Chain A
Amino acid sequence: MEIQAFQAIYTEITALTKATCTLKAKGITYDELAWVDGRNAQVIKIEGEMVTLQVFSGTEGIGTAAKVIFAGKPPSLALSPALGGRYFNAFGQAIDGLSQPQGEEVNIKGLTVNPVRRQLPSEMLSTGIAGIDLNNTLVTGQKIPFFADPDQPFNRILAEVALRADSDRIVLGAMGISHDDYIMFRNSFKERGASDKIVSFINTSEDPPLERLLIPDQATATAEYFAYEKKEKVLVLLSDMTLYADALAIVSNKMDQIPSKDAMPGSLYSDLARIYEKAVQFPEGGSITIIAVTTLNDGDITHAIPDNTGYITEGQLYLKRDTDTGLTIIDPFRSLSRLKQNVIGKKTRADHPQLMNALVRLYADASEARSKQENGFDLNDFDVRSLAFAKDYVRELLDVRLNIDSESMLNTGWKLLAKHFKVFELGIKQEFIDKYWPGEKV
């Protein structure tokens, strides 16, 4: 905080809750930043001369005579290429021991891109993971979360995807992740020689939860700078959005707002959408792709956080352990990439959509066969073949550890079909069968 000369200091707080304080103040603007006894705070309500501040680190130990100073401006960030390779906290202050970068200060909330100025996202973002590239192809300018249970290695996979994907810049927004995962991100960026292209805004589980509320805006404002001003292909990683939403609920609760489903604020949809909609493909070439993590409670996707997220994002990727092989895969049934239609069969080989669907459908047949087997029924010939297929499908394609190029994925797919099935069992267009079927055409 920088206190300037002649700045008004207020010392009469009239109300305090765990997260907010209220006082009489003049000339205050909505959303502006303030400091309460040196703690960061922001204006969230103006009522006559009474101003309510949200104190990010909580109000424990704040007295009614605490010193309150207003910044006169909303949260902002100094943007410059010097952000590259740096680590910041939720307020954009350097936490890596280096000096604070200088640059043009902008309001981190930013403006909305005019929808008619957006470009249709249609450039494939390959990751080498078949659960993504083959089944749920990603596109630059897309926004998609991993839906994962807390015990799954989602942050490791997120880091892996980020490092493999072809991008000019990675912006990491970490909200309430464990300190261990923070170290993991830092080390893997370093090991892969990617440190310089990464900008990180870090709030770990040790930091005050309300500070998380600023992380997505810091990350997307940075991304917008590199994507729009510098025309870079930017990948934004946000983990964990569930903890972000939990922080929203705390504030709304302290503001006496009526909660809607699952104790979440009624504005949850709009709050999340404002962040995710920053994903964009600019016509000038730059783009922002957002890959987030939303942790689930025991796989429950009807909870308000994953539910609202699903309505906002362009698909979702579920992590799952394949029971048959014990391998971690991206669930082919429930995962979805809504923008894959923009590239599959167009930028990728023409047989991609139909082949992918056939593989997933047959994998579904296998899971039915498995439940038949578990219930003690006899398996017919088709059941036996689909079970054998499923095993190969997971081992040779879906395993997230594999790194395969798109063309090979398709060829492997055909190989597996020909190994286990007959043409009429597929329902694939004849022209593709004629062209790609490696076996006997019966």
Chain B
Amino acid sequence: MTKGKIKAIVSNLLEIEFYGEVMQNEICFVTLGDKSLMAEVIKIRNQRAYAQLFELSTSLKLNDEVLFSGELLQVDLGPGILSKNFDGLQNDLDAMKGTFIETGQKNVSIDFDAVYTFTPLQEVGALVQAADWLGEVPENWIAHKIMVPFKLKGTYELVKIAPKGDYKVSDEIAQLKGKDGEIVSVTMAQKWPVKWALKSYREKFRPSKIFQTGLRVMDTLNPMAEGGTGYIPGAFGTGKTVLQQAIAKNNQADMVILVACGERANEVVEIFHTFPQLEDLKTGRKLKEKTTIICNTSNMPVAAREASVYVGMTIAEYYRNMGLKVLLLADSTSRWAQALREMSNRMEELPGTDAFPVELPAVIANFYGRAGEVALHNDSRGSVTFLGTVSPAGGNFKEPVTESTAKVARCFYALSQKRADAKRYPAIDPINSYSRYLDYEEFQSETESILGANWIEKVKKMKDLLQRGIEARDQISILGDDSVPLDYHLDFWRSELLDFAIIQQDSFDDIDMNSPLKRQQNMLNLALNICEYTGEFEDFNQVSTFYKKLINTFKQWNYSAFESDEYEKYAQELNATIA
């Protein structure tokens, strides 16, 4: 094991003189009394390693001893990840003692002594390769696959496999024989370096299936795709986090990984408290059972922010390789970029725009590139859908993190300050936001097979109506209510109806917070019918009164349970108005 000594300290950047071999991104430990503090090598020059410390550097001094681990930052992958609360370095937060996180305490990731019932899926003699399923164990409601270690290259022969029964995570459940006769022992858990994409699959597809979030402004207007990527930029107070939490609650994924990266602790606490109670719409079980939280809040080590998003992505890829639909949410990727900036700055590197490191766009592109829908070697399909929030400085989208993300993410959900100020939530701007998937032919046909023929046309129609409404509104405010033709008022109020009835959604109302696709289909169809209605109006006051009443009824409709008597009653009432 390589040793070293601290030669310089500036905040959490350490300069270490080392004696032996050191890798870029190698993990090392600084000895402070009886504790050891974790750090990661981020630059090596002239026998000096520069490392970012994952703790405060208080009380460190010149010549303090450093031990290099010989490993990159890795995660433990195995049963016991689901529904856990980890910190940014995959330490189990619930397993830590005390109210406060003590510096340098020994931590655990997954419980290697936990017992699971293993069922083999292969027989002795089978030829296998990395990521092939050897067997499975039940983990909550998921059949957790025990896979051939990802680090193995080439084909191996299965020479021994445990019969069905109860085993500890650390027990050997199989032996593999390589080409040269070497024997590899396999347990239920394995390690993988977080910065390397897990690529043990056959092929990656272009996303084609709609990923239901229950949010109308997304599903109807700018849908996400399974295996797709999207980002939500917005100034503070525009509702990024509420939106992401709403998606976390209402989606149809098999598993959700929430990465709280450099954000508020109380937001995560809310999830800790509500998710064990909330019902998952997909499985009917508790939401917590399919949710894993990676929590590195803003007061936790800055250097671990970067690690946290990679830990989340690696866990997502691991479950994807079991043939599952995984949703990864990261809030906020800007905090990760800022952590990169802090370190780059301390290392006195030449800065790029706004003092961010020049490689920022490449780092972001690489990360988003890890999402996708894949076919595994056994033809099962799995996906990682990734949605990140961005916190642009001053709410201005012309800044490096937003711009770099725009180049790689396929869906864009712009949170508008104006809408937020007017309390029109979710504050996603319906016109400026986009989903590139709407242009994919395979996505169009898949979506129309669910939501009916001409659906894509209807969505375009809705966007046109919204656009016309904005133009009409501008004209009215310039010329005055009386000086424009009545048609302008009609255009304006049609867009208001679409806004209030479809786009706005009450994420704190048990019913309105989640609209199934079928309901969204009914809503858009009816709303477009209303927009066709011309009626007889004497003046603009009549137009606004007519539409205000319609909007009120539509809202009551939205608050009614789907397909309940009340729901049918309000639908009839709406239809009657325009008959």
Contact = CB atoms under 8 A, between A and B. Distances in A.
A48 B61 contact: no
B535 interface: no
B393 A114 contact: no
Interface string B290-304: 000001011110100
Contacts of B394: 261, 301-304, 307
A8 to B, nearest CB: 14
B56 A113 contact: no
B266 A114 contact: no
A159 interface: no
A302 B269 CA distance: 28
Contacts of B262: 269-270, 273
A405 interface: no
B351 A258 contact: yes
A131 B8 CA distance: 51
Interface string B394-413: 11100000000000000000
B102 A312 contact: no
Nearest to A278: B299
Interface centre among A141, A269, A424 (most CB of B within 10 A): A269
Interface in A299-329: 301-304, 307-308, 310-312, 314-316
A80 to B, nearest CB: 20
Contacts of B551: 427
B7 A114 contact: no
B549 A120 contact: no
Interface string B553-568: 0011001000000000
A312 B61 CA distance: 32
Contact of A424 (B266, B480, B549): B549
B99 A114 contact: yes
B298 A277 contact: yes
A315 B8 contact: no
B422 interface: yes
A353 B508 CA distance: 10
Interface in A394-442: 424-427, 429-430
B345 interface: yes
Contacts of A260: 341, 345, 354-355
A23 to B, nearest CB: 14
A277 B297 contact: yes
B7 to A, nearest CB: 6
A307 B101 contact: no
Interface centre among A117, A228, A339, A430 (most CB of B within 10 A): A117
Interface in B157-175: none
A429 B480 CA distance: 32
Contact of A46 (B61, B544, B548, B555): B61
Contact of B62 (A31, A46, A270, A426): A46
Contacts of B391: 311
B337 to A, nearest CB: 11
Interface residues of A, number: 83
A119 B268 CA distance: 11
A29 B345 contact: no
Given A28-B61, A74-B59, A311-B236, A377 B552 contact: no
B494 interface: no
Contacts of A430: 556
B69 interface: no
Interface in B72-124: 85, 93-94, 96, 98-103
Interface in A249-301: 255, 257-261, 266-267, 269-270, 273-274, 277-280, 282, 301
Interface centre among A142, A267, A361, A381 (most CB of B within 10 A): A267
Interface residues of B, number: 76
Interface in A332-351: 333-334, 336, 339, 341-342
Contact of B85 (A112, A116, A333, A334): A116
Contacts of B393: 261, 302, 304, 307-308
A273 B299 contact: yes
Given A334-B421, A360-B423, A270 B342 contact: yes
B48 to A, nearest CB: 11
A141 B302 contact: no
B265 A113 contact: yes
B251 interface: no
Nearest to B551: A427
Contacts of A336: 237
A113 B102 CA distance: 9
A11 interface: no
Given A46-B9, A228-B99, A267-B342, A339 B266 contact: yes
B151 to A, nearest CB: 32
A22 B302 CA distance: 27
Contacts of B102: 111
A117 B508 CA distance: 25
A113 B355 contact: no
A112 B9 contact: no
Contacts of A187: none
A217 to B, nearest CB: 12
A378 interface: yes
B541 interface: yes
B153 interface: no
B269 A118 contact: yes
Interface of A: 26-32, 44-49, 74, 107, 109-121, 141-142, 228, 255, 257-261, 266-267, 269-270, 273-274, 277-280, 282, 301-304, 307-308, 310-312, 314-316, 333-334, 336, 339, 341-342, 353, 357, 360-361, 364, 372, 377-378, 380-382, 424-427, 429-430
Interface of B: 7-11, 15, 56-62, 85, 93-94, 96, 98-103, 235-237, 262, 264-266, 268-270, 272-273, 295, 297-300, 302, 335, 338-339, 341-342, 345-346, 348, 351, 354-355, 391, 393-396, 421-423, 477, 480-482, 500, 508, 540-541, 544, 548-549, 551-552, 555-556, 559
26 contacts: A28-B62, A30-B61, A31-B59, A45-B8, A46-B61, A111-B100, A111-B101, A111-B103, A115-B269, A115-B295, A116-B96, A141-B266, A228-B99, A257-B345, A258-B351, A273-B262, A282-B99, A308-B393, A333-B421, A342-B270, A361-B422, A361-B423, A364-B423, A372-B477, A425-B548, A430-B556
Which 10 pairs, one residue from A and one from B, show the smallest C-beta to C-beta distance? A302-B394, A273-B298, A277-B299, A310-B236, A111-B100, A260-B355, A31-B58, A377-B480, A47-B8, A46-B9
Given A111-B102, A277-B299, 8 more contacts: A29-B60, A116-B96, A257-B346, A259-B355, A278-B299, A308-B393, A315-B237, A372-B480
